[in-house]
Structure 1
Amino acid sequence: MAGEWIKMRTSLVTSPKVNGIARILERSADVGRMFSINRDMTLSQIVTRNVTRNVTVSLLLTVWAAANEHTSDGVFQNADLSDIDDIVGVPGFGAAMASVGWVIHDTDNDCVILPNFNEYNTSGNLRSATAKTNAQRQKEFRDRKKQQESNVTNNVTNDVTGNRREEKRREDLKDKPPLSGGLDEIPPEGLAEDKSDEIAERHQAPPGAGEPSGKFPMWEGWNPSPDFQRRAALWNRILTGPVPGFAEHELASFTDYWASEGKVFTQTQWEQKFADSVLYERKRTNQLEQKSGGNHAGNNNDAGESAALRQVREARAEWEQQQGLDAVGNHGGNLFEPLGDQERNDARSNLDGSDRFHDGHPSG
Structure 2
Amino acid sequence: MAGNWLKLEASTPDKPEVLAITVAMGWDDPDLVVGKLFRAWRWFDEHTIEGNAPRVTVALLDRIIGVSGFASAMAEVGWLVIADDGLSLPNFDRHNGKTAKDRALTAKRVATHKANAKSNADNVTDALPREEKNREDIQKKEAKASSAPARKIELDADGKWTGIPIAQRSTWETAYPALSLDAELAKAAAWILANPKNKKSNYARFLTNWLSRAQDSARPATPSNQQRFDPVAFVNRNRTDHGRNHGTIIDV
Q: What TM-score bracket applies, with the shorter chain setting the length?
A: 0.3 to 0.5
TM-score (norm 1): 0.28
What TM-score, normalized to structure 2?
0.38
